[in-house]
Amino acid sequence: MSDLLDRHSTDSCDPNGYTVCRETNLEILFADPWLVAINKPSGLLVHRTGLDFEATTFAVQALRDQLGRPVYPAHRLDRATSGVLLFALDREVLPALAMTFETGTVLKHYVAIVRGWPEETFQIDYPLKRFTVADGDGAPTGAVQEAHTAVCRLGSVELPMRVDRYPTSRYALVGLTPTTGRRHQLRRHLRHVHHPIIGDTTYGQGRHNRLFREQYQSHRLLLHARYLHLTHPITGDTLHLSAPLPTDFTNVLKALTMDTGTFGHLSD
């Protein structure tokens, strides 16, 4: 079922430059006796972490308070990423739900705005080092793991603004389908192919991020978890969970003349 509640306010930034989510009413995308899915705003941590001791609002606690019962996250989204986030409502359901993610049977689809014009469709098969506890928020030092992402260009624009050495600047809207789930995989993969995500203060390019802040008032990572398709661990039904693009994302697309109306499936 769908229960549209008030959106989060995202009117301040953390030390890394990302928008920080302050309020606690969450948009419920799906709920039944065993599962609940939300449209996580950019700037909201999933749960308490040692990487940010100053954070006071978390999706787990906010949803627990909103529903009046415990919730258990089945997967993770970076703080700066918005979109579909799935929880178990029963601790006994969590192992079966988590197993669907671990075995790669969950289809995940994201959209992002990136620098440059990528090829129309291509695969990124580039191994990534695993993050260890000792790494904190530094570079990963763990074992190398295989990582795969499918990329599809959905739209493009060329702005009459000089950011680098060229007189114009190119950007694209891309669809991303990862088949592995490494930490920061999409952000690291897109940096590897020289098309970093706009708003990424870790793997992106500061000059382009600055342009979007100053010209389009965009203070977030432009990465959104749009779809999640999986088999329900209890009923066996196929779940198609989708999270509409948030206003701060669609406003940028419209300003770039890449209106979501051109990609009707994104604005549903």
Dihedral over Cα of 220, 156, 240, 188: its sign:
negative
How many Cα atoms within 13 Å fall on the side-chain side of residue 139? Answer: 3
Cβ contacts of 102 within 8 Å, gap of 6 or more: none
b/e map 210-249, b = 16+ CB within 10 Å: ebbbeebebbbbbbbbbbbebebbbeeeebebbbbbbebb
pLDDT, residue 97, reads 94
Task: List the catalytic residue out of 11, 78, 137, 164.
Answer: 78
The predicted-structure confidence for 241-267, as pLDDT tens digits, reads as follows 999 999 999 999 999 987 544 454 555
Q: What is the per-residue DSSP string for 36-86?
A: EEEEEPTT-BSS--TT-TT---BHHHHHHHHHTS--EESS---TT-EEEEE
Angle of the 206-216 helix axis to the 247-255 helix axis, nearest 10: 90
Determine the distance from the C-alpha atom of residue 158 to the mean position of all C-alpha atoms in its chain, rounded to a whole number. 24
pLDDT of residue 214: 96
Determine the Cα angle at 45 with ends 58 and 184, to 5°. Answer: 160
Q: What is the pLDDT along the chain (268 residues), one digit of tens a residue?
A: 333 333 333 444 454 454 545 555 899 999 999 999 999 999 999 987 655 556 678 999 999 999 999 999 999 899 999 999 999 999 999 999 999 998 889 999 999 999 999 999 999 999 998 776 665 666 776 788 999 999 999 999 999 999 988 899 999 999 999 999 898 999 999 999 999 999 999 999 999 999 999 999 999 999 999 999 999 999 999 999 999 999 999 999 999 987 544 454 555 5
pLDDT value, residue 7: 33
User: Can you give the pLDDT at residue 87?
Assistant: 98
Q: Examine the residue annotation and report whether 78 is marked as an active-site residue of this protein.
A: yes
Give the pLDDT of residue 9. Answer: 38
Q: Is 18 helix (H, G, I), strand (E, B) or coil?
A: coil
pLDDT (0 to 100) of residue 22: 52
